[in-house]
Amino acid sequence: MLDNILCGRNRIRLLVLALSSIPIVRSTPSDPPRSLLQWKNCSVENFPSIARLVLPEYTDSLGVAPGLDCAELEVPVDWNKVEGENITLGMARYHATGPGLRLGTVVYNPGGPGGSGAQTVIWQALGIGKYFSNAITGHYDVVGLDPRGVGMSTPVKCDPRLYNARGNTYATQNLEFEKLVSSNKDFGESCRNMTGNLFFHVDTISVAHDVEELRIALDDDRLNWIGLSYGTQIGSTYANLYPQHVGRMVLDGNVDRYQSETSLLYAASAAYEDTLNQFFSWCNTTATAEECPYHNQDFPRLFKNLIAEAVKHPIPAPGCSGNSSSCLPQVSDIDILYNVQPWLSFVNPAPGIPTSWVGLARALNDTLNGNATLLSTAIATSNMDPLFPSLAVGCLDWLHNATSLSDLKYKQQMAINVAPLTKGAGISYLYQTACIGWPADVANPQRTLDGAAMAKLPPILMVNAYHDPATSYVWAEGLRAQIPSAVLLTRNGSGHTSYLLGGATTTAIDAYLVDGVLPGPNTVLNS
Ligand SMILES: *[C@@H]1O[C@H](CO)[C@@H](O)[C@H](O)[C@H]1NC(C)=O
Ligand SMILES: *[C@@H]1O[C@H](CO)[C@@H](O)[C@H](O)[C@H]1NC(C)=O
Ligand SMILES: *[C@@H]1O[C@H](CO)[C@@H](O)[C@H](O)[C@H]1NC(C)=O
Ligand SMILES: *[C@@H]1O[C@H](CO)[C@@H](O)[C@H](O)[C@H]1NC(C)=O
Ligand SMILES: *[C@@H]1O[C@H](CO)[C@@H](O)[C@H](O)[C@H]1NC(C)=O
Ligand SMILES: *[C@@H]1O[C@H](CO)[C@@H](O)[C@H](O)[C@H]1NC(C)=O
Ligand SMILES: *[C@@H]1O[C@H](CO)[C@@H](O)[C@H](O)[C@H]1NC(C)=O
Ligand SMILES: *[C@@H]1O[C@H](CO)[C@@H](O)[C@H](O)[C@H]1NC(C)=O
Ligand SMILES: *[C@@H]1O[C@H](CO)[C@@H](O)[C@H](O)[C@H]1NC(C)=O
């Protein structure tokens, strides 16, 4: 997902889900393989870093989970210096169960940036959730690769204390702005100091080169890919670099980062506001009073009042008050604005999916009644906290040119005009503010895809919901316009990404992956 799906207390987060300023001298990783993958059982003994992805009660099952195995791949930190220092990429594989024709491997990425593909695959194998349908697992091995810096791979390390001490991204005073910039810089420096050279190379172009190295190490002719959310960014970047090696590619919940900062923020602000309004109407029209306590009340007004109240008095989060707590004990208006958004990602509850609209209704009810635990902001608790890579990647991938308080106020004002309730909170605003002062140049700034590369692509499938709180339909359409061979399948509904829902859209995605059948142009499905 774009953004970790679970802010707040739960430390096990699922999903959650370009022209380089550094010239890429060598655009093709080694072919033939530098090494082939050596698959082993996923025990903690074999892969110590896997302990970061599962709760302790599951670690004994990792070595024996049916159909599951794991591997590691060495890649250069810097793809311009392939003889230099290496890092390790970790991955998990869930085997094709047959009996049908085996079609090879499909690589899965849940987005983030910072989401662990290995975790999703492991959770599927452990039966925590069912993310891949029988149609897929019947025909494909599913490989969840952890991008550099994430999960089982060589981590981004930072000082958690400095992460938690960062300034307010909605600064309105000069001093507050200066604190934001200097605290961003201090935190970034801690990451640079603790992570080493990898700090400068977690951008998505480097990740795309890693994915190519994986394809070669898998000994596959073409890369089959399911990318959700930020996984669409990895997929489109890969396609831009290696169009001749693209197989069946699904991009679901699309990031079109190939726009100006203002345009990105405008579309993102409108998307969040729109989906929140869908949630409010759901509360009146679909939900029962049990499911949504504000059934037939003026929920938008209540929400607005809640935010106004939290500006004056932060709301306590009693569930976050312990010493070892991983969320803030007081919740501000800004916390609520950022933390409601990921709750909009999935309408219906499902096993292994951590949020739903019923859950959001409850979180807001609790908060309106003085307990903001479920909308509290996650804090970092270790020097390898899974919160870190999202920022480390984002600050290398997204322009953040604001240099003054007035630049920031311009963004705030624009966002509030487009989105009076939600004020533009979300990943676009976050990167445009939390990266100011970051001690690394943007390695992969936005630009359009290369037309010559796109002309070489086979047909690919893009998917987006009309009411997506994180990746606007405008982004999907913007990306589709750059990929002539792409078909955009629309889900007429709400939520961020569609593949995990198991509805008609999932069936259409499976038909493409398994049979190569694409939906007709302008197809709209209702589930
Ligand atoms: C997993 O691999 C380790 C190390 O190779 C081995 O000791 C262990 O017995 C294996 N576990 C199973 C269940 O095969
Ligand atoms: C990096 O990994 C490759 C492939 O495993 C290996 O051939 C190379 O020697 C490694 N480089 C260093 C500096 O360890
Ligand atoms: C990072 O390292 C530099 C050089 O050693 C040092 O001056 C600086 O204080 C360190 N910064 C942080 C935040 O650790
Ligand atoms: C809403 O919150 C109130 C006060 O905590 C509680 O009594 C009520 O059961 C909650 N409603 C739902 C549907 O959770
Ligand atoms: C929900 O219903 C109430 C009462 O009829 C109404 O005041 C409110 O505007 C409705 N809200 C939405 C979002 O439709
Ligand atoms: C919590 O922290 C306080 C102060 O740091 C310490 O005195 C106390 O023992 C801690 N409690 C627990 C349960 O760790
Ligand atoms: C506040 O909400 C959290 C999360 O639902 C819950 O675990 C906790 O018990 C609540 N605390 C109080 C004091 O109601
Ligand atoms: C934004 O900053 C980049 C460098 O990070 C610079 O190349 C670019 O010209 C700037 N863009 C604008 C619109 O100021
Ligand atoms: C989309 O969904 C809405 C509400 O569920 C419905 O009114 C509309 O007819 C649907 N549109 C299409 C093209 O199916």
Which amino acid, one-letter code, is at 284?
Answer: N
Res 515: pLDDT: 96
Pocket of ligand 1 contains residue 64 by CB under 6 Å: yes
What is the pLDDT, as a whole number, of residue 101? 79
Q: What is the pLDDT of residue 98?
A: 73
Q: Under 8 Å CB-to-CB from 214, ≥6 apart: which residues?
A: 73, 89, 91, 107, 143, 145
**Best of 162, 164, 182, 193 for a ligand 3 pocket test (most atoms within 8 Å of beta carbon):** 193
So what's the pLDDT on residue 22? 29
Of ligand 2's listed atoms, the one at least distance from the Cα of 34 is 4
**CB of residue 401 inside a 6 A radius of ligand 8:** yes
Compute the distance between CA of residue 381 and CA of residue 320 in angstroms, rounded to an integer: 13
Per-residue pLDDT of the chain (527 residues), as tens digits, is 544 333 333 333 433 342 222 233 334 555 666 678 999 999 999 999 999 999 999 999 999 999 999 999 999 999 999 999 999 999 999 998 877 778 999 999 999 999 999 999 999 999 999 999 999 999 999 999 999 999 999 999 999 999 999 999 999 999 999 999 999 999 999 999 999 999 999 999 999 999 999 999 999 999 999 999 999 999 999 999 999 999 999 999 999 978 999 999 999 999 999 999 999 999 999 999 999 999 999 999 999 999 999 999 999 999 999 988 999 999 999 999 999 999 999 999 988 898 999 999 999 999 999 999 999 999 999 999 999 999 999 999 999 999 999 999 999 999 999 999 999 999 999 999 999 999 999 999 998 999 999 999 999 999 999 999 999 999 999 999 999 999 999 999 999 999 999 999 999 999 999 999 999 999 999 99
pLDDT of residue 19: 21
User: Which protein residue has the closest C-alpha to ligand 3 atom 2?
Assistant: 193
Q: Whose CA is nearest to atom 5 of ligand 5?
A: 296
Please tell me the predicted confidence (pLDDT) of residue 20.
Answer: 24
| The ligand 5 atom nearest the CA atom of 281 | 13
242, 218 Cβ separation under 8 angstroms? no
Question: Of 317, 386, 375, 308, which is closest to residue 342 (Cα–Cα)?
Answer: 375
The CA-CA-CA angle for residues 114, 115, 120, to 5°, reads 160
Please tell me the residue having the least CA distance from ligand 8 atom 8: 401
Please work out whether the CB of residue 403 comes within 6 Å of at least one atom of ligand 8. Answer: no
Q: Which atom of ligand 1 is nearest to the CA of 64?
A: 13
Mutate to test the pocket of ligand 8, among 401, 407, 431, 436 (most ligand atoms within 8 A of CB): 401
Residue given tokens 């603790």 in the structure block: 194
Check residue 26 and give its pLDDT.
39
Tokens of 388: 């870190």
State how beta strands 86-94 and 140-145 pair: antiparallel
